[in-house]
Amino acid sequence: MKYDPSIVRARYASPLGAMVVAATPRGVAGIWFEGQKHMPDHSAWPEQPGHPVLLQAIAQLDEYFKGVRGTFELPLDLQGGTPFQQSVWQALLSIPRGGTTSYGQLGQRIGRPAAMRAVGAAVGRNPLSVVVPCHRVLGANGSLTGYAGGLERKAALLQLEGAR
């Protein structure tokens, strides 16, 4: 993934563990649980906890975890992904709170029904945990499968949303 050189970050203490929230001038570019798979090296990104987009993202994450926010209203910067990844991430945004889908159904939504593995890889590289709801994607049989932030967090997020 490529990130805008002007990216900045802040830390957020979520109920499910520490998170890093990153933004560019275009919007929120990343939200990761500390230590999750595919988390980029963010050590060179300046910490700017007072950055307005980061403050907005953290406030909305707080509301989400308290159960008072169902959807996020944030400017997003998904330009770090390939066009295919971006199409998968956009499709994830259409899964409603409390809803789930499978990798195969997600592939159908983007017009690539045979690309389940590629869809799964793109879901796994989603840079915006929670906000772009990759946790709402389940295995074909409804099982909890793959989540870069850990299956325990995936189960907790789905429970918070009333999906499982």
Q: Where do the structural domains in the chain lie, given as residue ranges?
A: 8-65, 83-160
Whole-structure pTM value: 0.93
Provide the 10 A C-beta neighbour count for residue 156.
Answer: 18
Active site (annotated) includes residue 113: no
Classify domain 8-65 at the CATH class level. alpha beta
At what angle are helices 83-92 and 116-124 packed, to 10 degrees? Answer: 80
* Confidence at residue 107, expressed as pLDDT on a 0 to 100 scale: 94
Kindly name the residue from 91, 134, 138, 160 that is annotated as catalytic. Answer: 134
Three-state secondary structure along 104-145?
Answer: HHHHHHCCCCCCHHHHHHHHHCCCECCCCCHHHEECCCCCCC
Cβ partners under 8 Å of residue 152, min gap 6 = none
Tokens of 51: 């950055």
Separation CA 27–CA 15 (nearest Å) = 24
Classify domain 83-160 at the CATH class level. mainly alpha
**Closest to 77 measured CA to CA, from 149, 132, 147:** 132
> With 0-12 CB in 10 A as exposed, 13-18 as middle and 19+ as buried, what is 7?
buried
- Tens of pLDDT along the chain (164 residues) come to 888 889 999 999 999 999 999 999 999 999 999 999 999 999 999 999 999 999 999 999 999 999 999 899 999 999 999 999 999 999 999 999 999 999 999 999 999 988 889 999 999 999 999 999 999 999 988 889 889 899 999 999 999 999 85
The domains spanning 8-65 and 83-160 adopt the same CATH topology: no
